[in-house]
Structure 1
Amino acid sequence: MLTPAPPANEDTLPFLRQYWRVAVRWRYVIGGAVVASLLIGLIATFLMTPKYTAISTIEISRESSQLTNFQGVERETSIADQEFYQTQYGLLRSRVLAERVATQLRLVDDKRFFERFGERDNDIAFQEVNGRYTAAGRAERQRIAGEILLKHASIEPTRLSRLVNISFTSPDAEFSQRIANAWAENFIQTNLERKVQATSYGRNLLQRELAQTKERLDGSQRQLVAYAEQQRIINLPSQGAGENQTSERSIVADELATLNAALSQATADRIAAESRSRETSGAGQSSEALRNQAINALRQRRAELSADYQRMMVQFEPDYPPARALQSQISQLDRSIAREESRVAGSVQAEYRQAMDRESALRARVERLKSSYLDLRRRSIQYNIYQQEVDTNRALYDGLLQRFKEIGVAGGVGVNNIAIVDPADLPQKPSSPRLVLNLIVALLAGLAVGAAAAFALEQMDEAIADPAEVERRLGLPLLGSVPKVEGVAPRDALLDRKSDLVDAYLAIQTSLGFTTEHGVPRSLAITSTRPAEGKSTTALAVATMLARAHKKVILVDGDMRSPSVHHLGGVDHDRGLSNYLAGQDDISQLTFEMTDLGFTGMSAGPIPPNAAELLTGHRLQVLIAQLLESYDHVVIDSPPVMGLADAPLIASRVEGVIYAVESHGIRSSIVKTALQRLIASNARILGGVLTKFEARKAHYGYGYEYGYGYGREKGAGNA
C-alpha cells in the first residue's frame, strides 16, 4: 500500500481555511469562552439597575449677530454655519449650563440626588448640620452636581438638520424627564441672557462713541464758524434739489450770477438798440418811424390832400387858389413828418447810447466781482476742508444716534433663535440594561476572547500534530504516520495482517525503498527523542515487514539501559549485545528466533555499568558487518537520543537512522535539539515516522483513517 500524498503545507493554505481549522481544533476553548461570556453577560444584566432615558428635542436656527449696519463683516458660508452649530453643541455640553440646571432644580442641597448617583463623599462639601448640608460646601456641591449631570447627559445632533436631542439617563424616569426639559429651557434662557448682555454691551459702546462723535462735531463746527468769520466768508443756506438736502452758497457767487445775467440782458438790449440806430441813420425809413402812429397819421393826411390836389389839377392850374392852398397844406404836412422822423431817430440814438453805457457799467461790475470771487475761492479751500469735516462728523453722529435708538428698542425684545420642538416625555420602559444587546456584546466578546486564546494556544503549541509538520517543523522527510492502536498489543496488531498498524508500516517500508540506490538500507537504527515514543514498536514493525518481504532480518536490542526486545521473544536478556561488545565472539549463542514474526532477535544482554563505554569501541561495527554476512537487514532498536550518548554512537555505525516522533507527545524544539546531536555524530537520518497519530486531534483535520481503514467493514467480495 502506497504512502498517502502529504497534505498541503500550512503556509500554502488559504487564510480563511487556516483560521477555520484553528477554530475547529480549539473549538472547546472558544466554546468555553463564549459560554462564560454569555453567563457573565446574563448575570450582569440581571444585576444591573434599570435606567430610564428621557429625550427632549430643540431646534437651533442660524441668525445674524451684527450690531451695526455694516455689511460684509461676517461670511455667510457653510464653514461659518458649521462653526456656529459646533459652538452651540459645545454650549449645550458646558459645565455652567449643567450647574445652572442643578441649581434651578435644587439638586445642590438634595441628599437623595447625590446618594442616587453614589457621589457622596465624607469631605467638607457633604458635611451636615441638623440633617442638612452646610452652606460652606455649596460651591463644591454645585460643581459635583454639574459633573454628575454632564456625565449622564448626552447631546446628539440630528444629521443634516437643525434639530438636537438632549437626553438624560438615570434610575428614576420622572427625574430623567425633569432634567431633560430643564436642560432645554435653561439653554434657551442662557441664550437670551447672552443676547441681552451683548445688546447692553453694544449700547454702552455706542453711547461712548456717540458722545465722542458729538464732541468732534461741535469742535469742527466751531472751527468752521471761526474761520468763516476771520476770512469774512458769508454763505447763505439754500434748498437743494433733493428732499431734506440743504447746501450753502456765497453772497459773491449769488451777486456775480445776478450781475452776469443782467450783463447778458444789457448786451442784448445794446445790440437791439444798435440795430435800430443803424436803421434810422440809413436812407430808407426806419422801422421805428413806420411804427410811429403820429407819423403814420400825418402821412395818411398828406396822402388824402395829395389825392385831392391831383383831382383838382385835372380841372385847374397850379395857380388856382384852392390848389395852392392844398399845396401849402401838403408842404406843411411834409415838414411835420420830417420833424417827427427826426425826433424818432434822436430817440433811437439816445436809447442806443444808454444801452451802451449800461452794458459798460455792468461789465465793469462783473469784472470786479470775478476778482472778488476768485479771491473768495482761494480763501474757501480751507473753509471747504472744515466743512467736509463737519459733514462727516454729522453723518457719523446721525448714524450712531439712529443705531443707538434701534438698539434701545431691540434691547427690550427677546429675539430667540432656539425653540423646543418636543419636550421630554416620561419614559415608559428602561433604556438599559438591554438583555439582547448585552448578550450580543457578550457573545462577540466571548468569540474575541476565545479566538485570541485559540491563536495564543496555537502559537504556543509546539507539539507535532500532523504528518505535514514533521517536514515543516523538523526538516525531516516523512516516511509515514502510524495510527494509535488501543486495546491491543503492538505484537498482536502486527500478527493481524489486516490491522491499521500493518498498513501503516507497509507504507513506511515502501518509503524506505526509495531512501538509497539499493532500496531499503541494510543496517538501520530506530531511535526517538525520549522513551515511550514508539521507537521499539517501529523497530519491531520494520523488522516484521522486511521479513514478510522474504528478507532475512535480525532485530538487535541496542537499548542496554532499558531493554525490551527479549519480552517480544519470551526470553530473558542474560545473553545478548552487551556480551558481544564485552568480547564474546560466538553470535549464535546470543540470538533467538521469533518464528511467529519471521525474523531473528538479539537481546540487549546483561545491563552493563556504562553502556556508552561499550559502544565507543569498534566491536559494534564488527558485529554489524558479521550480521550482514548472514542477514539481509540488521535493524537496531536504539536508545533515545536526549540525555544519552548511546544513540549517536549507534547512529554513526549504521547506514541510516529512522527517527520516531510521537504525535501530540513532544515539543518540536526538543526534537530539533536531539536531531542536532545526531547530525553532529555524522549520522544519516533517513526520515521521520509520526507515531501514535490521531487524525481527530490533527491541526487541520487530516483524514488519515481513510487510508488505513478502507474496506474494513466490507466483505471480501467488495474489496
Structure 2
Amino acid sequence: MFESGRPIQTAAARASRIKAAGNLILARMDVEPERMSRLVEISFTSPDPELSKRVVDAWSTNFIQSTLERRYSATSYARNFLEERLKQLRIRIDESERALVNYASQQNIVNIPGSTDSNGQTTGERSLVVDDLANLNRELAQATAERVAAESRLNSGGATKEQLDNTANSTLRTKRAELAADYARMLQQFDPAYPPAKALQAQIRSIDAALRGEGSRVDAVLRATYQASLSREQQLTSQVNKLTGRVLDFRRRSIQYNILQREVDTNRQLYDALLQRYKEIGVAGGVGVNNIAVVDDAELPVAPDRPRPLFNMALALFAGLVVGAALAIVFEQIDEGLTDPIEVEEVLGLPLIGVTPKLPNDKPVVALDDPKSILTEAYASIVANLGFATSHGIPRTLAITSARAAEGKSSTSYAIARSIARTNRSVLLIDADMRSPSVHALLEKPLDQGLSNFLAGANDIDRLIRPTEIAGLSIISAGPQPPSTPELLSGDRLRALLEQMGDRFDHIVLDLPPVMGLADAPLIASQVEGTLVITAAHSTHKNVARIAIGRLRSAHAHMLGVVLTMFDAKQASYGYGYGYGYGNGYGYGSSSDEAAN
C-alpha cells in the first residue's frame, strides 16, 4: 500500500523501527557523573557533529519532561488514594457517631460539654449525674461544717458570742455594773439595812433575773439552729447516698459509651490527619518545581573524538607497564618465603629477637617441661633478648602476633610467658585470639569464661583469671566467641583490663590473632608497650610479612622485633651461626607449629 508515493507502515513495523533507533541511540549515548558534584555529562558519538549536538539537547530536554511527568503521576496517584480513604473515613465517622448517639439515648446518658474558664484552661466533657453528685457533696460538706459549729456553740456553756452580741444583754450588764458600783460605795458609809441600799440591792437582783431569762432564750435559739443544721445534714447525706448509687450505675452504663466515644475520636483524628496530608499534596503537587536543570547546552564538536593515535599509543605503553608490574608482583609472590635469620632482618627491617627450631614431634608443652631441651633454651634466649628491648627490661605488656595462622604465635606466647615466670616474676597470659583461641588447649583449661566476657561488660575479673601448674603464671582464656570482635576491642574495656592487671602482675603477655585480614591485632597492639612478630621459616611470604608489619606500624604499635620459628638448619641453604643447637646437637625438642594448638 502506498500513500503520496510512500509505502504505508504498519504499527508493528513502526514500533520495530522506533526500537531499533532507540537501541542505536543507547549504544552511542554516554552519561558520566562528575566526581564530587551532582552534575552529569551527556555525550553522543556519531559521524555528524550537528546530529550529536541535537541528540544530546533532545535527550536532556526529554529527561526533564519525563521526570516531571513521573512526579505528577506519583502525586496524582497519592491524591486519588487519599480521596478514596477520606470517603471511607467519612462513612466510618458517620456510623460511629450514630452508634454513640443511639446508645446514649437508650441508656439516658447526658453529658455536659467541656468549657474554657477565665484562666484559659479547658475542662473536658462531664456527666450531668456526676456533676450533681459533686454539687451535693459540696453542700453536704458545708452543712456538716454548719452543724459542727452549731453543736460547738450549744455545748460550750457560759457566755456565748450570741449572748455577748445581744444589745439587751449589753445594756443590762452595763446597768448592773453601775448599780453594783453605787451599792459598794453606799456600803462603805451605811449598813446594808439602809433603805437606799436595800433598794439598790433589789434592782441588782431584778437585773440578774432578766439576764438569766435572756440566756435561756439564747440557748433555745442555739438549740433550734443546731437541730436545723443536723436535719439539713441528714437530708443531704440521704440525697448523696441515693445519687452515689445512680453514679455507679451510670459508670457501668458508660463503659460501652466510652468505647464508642473513643472510636469516634480515633476516626476523626485519622480523618483530620489524612485531610491535612491531602491538602499538603494538593499544594506540593504543582509541576512548576523541578530539581533537574540543564547547566550548559551541548557544544558543537570542533574535532573528532576518535580515533586518537597518540592516546592509543600512550594507553598501550601504560598497559604494557601495568602488565609488567603485575608479572613482577606475581613472581615476587610465588617465592618460598623467609628462609634464614639473616634474611629476616634484611627483608623486614626489624631486629631478630630469636630463633626456635623445628623439632620432630609437635608437642611443645612436653618439650618446654624439660628445662634442658633445645626449645626451652631457645625461648630462654628470646626472653633474655627482650630484656634489652626497653630501658626497664622486658616490656610490662607484650603482644605476640603473626602475619597468618599456623606460624607458632600461640606456642611462642605460652613459652615466653612461662620463661618469664621462671625468673620469679608474676605473669598473666591473655588469649586475645577470640576468633580461634588455642591457649586454653595448651594448658587444658576451660573456655566458658574469659576475655570476651570482660570486654562485653562482666566486672568479676577474679573469676576469669585461672592459675596454672607453673608457679607465677596465670591465664585468661579467650572466652566464648563474640558476634563482633572489633566492636569489643574498640572500647575502653581492654585498656582498663591492662591497667588493672598491671597493678597485680609484673608482666602481661597477650596472644593476638593474625594480622592479615583481621582488625583485631592492630587494635590491641596499639595499646601495649611492645609487639613481637612471629614468622615461620619457609612458610611466610616476604611481602605478606612486610604488609603485616606495615599494618601494625600504621596502628602506632611499638615493634620490638621478629622471632623466626620452625627453623630447620638442615633445610637452610647454608649453616647458621648457632645452628649447632638446632641441628643435631641435642636431638630433642618439639615443633612450635600452630597446629599443636
TM-score calculated relative to the size of structure 2? 0.49
Higher RCO structure (Cα 8 Å, ≥6 apart): 1
Looking at CA atoms only, which structure, 1 or 2, has the larger radius of gyration?
Answer: 1
